Amino acid sequence: MKKKIVFMIINMNVGGTEKALLNMISEIPKDKYDITILMLEQYGGFLNSIPHEVHVKYLKGYEHIKDMLNNPPHITAINLFKKGDVIKALNISTVYLASKATKNKSIFFKYILRKYPTLKSEYDIAVAYAGPMDFISYFVVNKIKAKKKIQWIHFDITKIGFDKHFASKLYKKFNRIFVVSNEGRNKLINVLPVLKERVEVFSNIISLKLIHDQAKENNGFNDSFDGIRILTVGRLTSEKGQDLAIRALARLKDDGYKVKWYCLGEGSARKTYEKLIEEYNLQGEFILLGSDPNPYPYINECDIYVQPSRHEGYCITLSEAKCLKKPIITTDFTGAKEQINNGETGLIVGVDENEIYNAAVDLIRTPTLRYQFSQNLKKIDNTKEKKNIISYF
């Protein structure tokens, strides 16, 4: 009989966490495992990328509690007062104050989910895969029946809001806690040493065949530019550091380098970045391409790949650029040194526009260095991660 696994996530937005899940699912033997993805909402550019044999479910009624989860409780209470729902507003306020006073977020989640029954389906393994959304962790522990439960952490807990009081209590109820890098694991253990025996490293899986196949599916860049193409892939947010890239490009252009910088991704900072591009007169030079579920033709065609992130958990786009043997510049976020050997397979720099600029100049001026980095990028070996899937699941 097949083992039943459920992965719970927010949605299938085009992002690294979602791509990592799809990559892992592609490597799980379908003759041995029955896979379900449980989403909070039916949304995202990767929805059509879910294999047809995977069951897809959505949390019924999530739209009724979404605002309470995503907005500050006092805003929710005010909105309820305006609608005339005084009792519900008072209840929300009371519950929130109680959870804050006791430093127990579970009180708030329990109230929100008070009318939600435990899911009828039973699983062998239930995975809270979404990352930094405590609600999903709480739901997996309290509303899903499973023999084993796993918490997956894809982010740097020292950089993103991490409620250690909540985690110290809830995470003990998971059989295992997977972190996507050794550095990330060490940070978690330093913050919550009580979890040490449960925490293991499980690196994100890269589907080599999928990347190479999809890199050939379409053309990437559609302009006729014949200079150096620099590419960055990631959501348009401050944490991904595209503002540093814009400022680095401004210096490159001022110094006369024939270069364009392309950025794949969409996000909340688009308008901010558009204003910054205009401020530096980089229209047509720093190009926001928008979101594309298949970034590989662009990665395959670029001359230099740059990851200017302020923080990451384990940057999957970096691994994808490695897979396509691109000369790489990356900032020194969590896990970067586990992916790149500085000066051998790429350049690791500080989270600083000047350091990014200097590294870009080195690669632009020295074609032999770009060639050397590409040659030094050995074929990525997923053997260990594939074995981990079988042994852990």
Summarised one tens digit per residue, pLDDT across range 217-245 is: 888 998 989 999 999 999 999 999 999 99
pLDDT value for 392: 72
pLDDT value for 388: 67
pLDDT value for 84: 81
pLDDT value for 87: 85
pLDDT value for 131: 60
**Mean pLDDT score of the chain, rounded to an integer?**
91
Question: Are residues 178 and 270 located together in one domain of the fold?
Answer: no
The number of domains in the chain is 2
Q: Write the DSSP string, 79-145.
A: HHHHTT-HHHHHHHHHHHHHHHHTT-THHHHHHHTTTPPPPS-EEEEEEE-SSS-HHHHHHHHHH-E
Summarised one tens digit per residue, pLDDT across range 268-315 is: 999 999 999 999 999 999 999 999 999 999 999 999 999 999 999 889
CATH number of the domain at 219, please: 3.40.50.2000
Sign of CA dihedral 361, 235, 314, 241: positive
Q: Which of 183, 202, 221 is the last residue before a domain boundary?
A: 202
Question: Are residues 106 and 188 located together in one domain of the fold?
Answer: yes
pLDDT value for 386: 63
pTM of structure? 0.87
Listed as own residue / partner, the contacts of 90-95 with beta carbons closer than 8 Å and 24 or more positions apart are 92/68
Q: Are 307 and 328 in contact (CB under 8 A)?
A: yes
Residue 322: which domain range?
Answer: 209-376
Q: Write phi, then psi, for 372 (nearest 5 degrees).
A: -60, -45
Question: Are residues 154 and 245 located together in one domain of the fold?
Answer: no
Low-confidence ranges of the chain (pLDDT < 50): none
Is residue 334 included in any domain, yes or no?
yes
Question: Are residues 172 and 314 located together in one domain of the fold?
Answer: no
